[in-house]
Homo-oligomer: A and B are copies of this chain.
Amino acid sequence: MRRQNLALVLQEVAAGAPLSRAEVAAASGLTRAAVSSLVEELIGAGLLAELGPAPSGRVGRPGTALTLNPQGPAGLGAEIGVEHLAACVVDLRGEARVWTRIAADNRGRPAAEVLADLAALLRTVAAEAAPALRPAGLGIAVPGLVGAEPGLVRRAANLGWSDVPVIALLRSELRLAGAPDLAALPAEVDNEANLGGLAELWLGDHAGTGDFVHISAEAGIGAALIVAGRLFRGARGFAGELGHVPVEPDGPPCACGSRGCLEQYAGERAVLRAAGPGSARADTGHSSGEAGSGRDWIALLADRAADGDPAVLAALDRAGTALGTAVAGAVNLIDPASVILGGGYAELGEWLLPGMRRELTARVTVRPWSDDWLAVSVLGRRGPLLGAAAGVVRAIVEDPGRFAAQ
């Protein structure tokens, strides 16, 4: 019971901070005495902090305003991209306090090498965050399938990985990098698209709405299905492979062995190929070791689209149309309350949305559909890494008693 009340108090503060003890009591239905005792325990565990006297409209002594401790336990996040590595530290509110991203050509590199670089990056961000923020756990976003087995990446085609025990390898590299404290943290690995969807649920404009499909593009196209406020993983943990939903049964061959998959219309290579010269990188097969700004296909396309480049506009309209066709099927099938365009797509929303809207309006007709139910994420490409790190602090806020007991 006390454990539940600790969670209740912490969540009231998380939702409404700054709040006085009296306001927490009013919001939670607990007595002031109970709230005071619970607050002391949460302050002792480093989860709550006092901001000083709170402004109050009431007569009498002003209460002391409580907030989630901005110097408290933190979430450490890591992201393995096909062409980058990134790491961050978020505070208890899920706010990114340290953030770093480096270009890296990870295609076909041995996993241990990639994870050695990642370990160094994690050590750097953790050092920068210290001593104010102390990681309580580590979340890792990967561009691949993560099955039911903890810590194992089943397959990451764009990295050339199969059955890589990411967490065990990363712990080993963290120890070699002189960071045994980070190696000892509880850790989880998940698919980048899933974590992007969770970030939207926890921190985005759609926080708390509970039922949406979040679509993102990094190495591949992925979807996160958020159902009743939780990530829907499917029977075997592989739900959300939107990139291989067929758009045209006899369409172009896909690397997966099938034909006409959504990735052949709206994936990175397909869009760059359709956008033609000026996106020369599309034809290099990403074999160049160079990792400059020219590698950012999303920014490149957004720039050229903003300049009115007709080939790019046509390529993005084709991608938006294909996305709309595939998403129309998903809407007819699973009936989400809304569809959120996230990840790299968010920056291309201006040019992708018209085709998507057209297709959704034309193809979702036997049940209600409104243009307003399609929106663009404010988190964009920061989603997966934010989701990885925020998962750590969400778990603490949901059950502070377990954290305090550790």
Contact = CB atoms under 8 A, between A and B. Distances in A.
Interface of A: 145, 155, 157, 211, 223, 225, 227, 232-242, 244-249, 256-259, 261, 321, 325-326, 328-330, 332-337, 362-368
Contacts of A249: 247-248, 321, 325
Contacts of A328: 245-246, 258
A301 B326 CA distance: 31
B247 A332 contact: no
18 contacts: A145-B367, A155-B366, A157-B366, A234-B336, A242-B333, A244-B363, A244-B364, A244-B366, A245-B328, A245-B332, A246-B325, A246-B328, A249-B321, A256-B365, A257-B362, A259-B362, A326-B329, A330-B333
Nearest to A336: B235
A244 B332 contact: yes
Looking at chain A's contact residues, the main secondary structure is loop
Contact of A241 (B235, B326, B366): B366
A235 B366 CA distance: 15
A266 to B, nearest CB: 13
Contacts of A227: 232
Nearest to A254: B365
A258 B335 CA distance: 18
A335 B246 contact: no
B334 A239 contact: yes
B236 A335 contact: yes
A233 B325 contact: no
Nearest to A245: B329
A223 B335 CA distance: 12
Contacts of A366: 145, 155, 157, 241, 244, 256
A233 B155 contact: no
A270 to B, nearest CB: 15
Contacts of A368: 236, 238
A258 B358 CA distance: 11
Nearest to A244: B332
Contacts of A233: 335
Given A325-B246, A362-B257, A335 B367 contact: no
Q: Which A-B residue pairs are the 10 nearest by beta carbons?
A: A234-B335, A235-B337, A211-B235, A245-B329, A238-B367, A241-B332, A239-B335, A238-B335, A258-B363, A256-B365
Contacts of A334: 225, 232, 234, 239, 333-334
Task: Kindly name the residue among A234, A235, A366 whose own CB sees the greatest number of chain B CB atoms within 10 A.
Answer: A366
Contacts of A211: 234-235
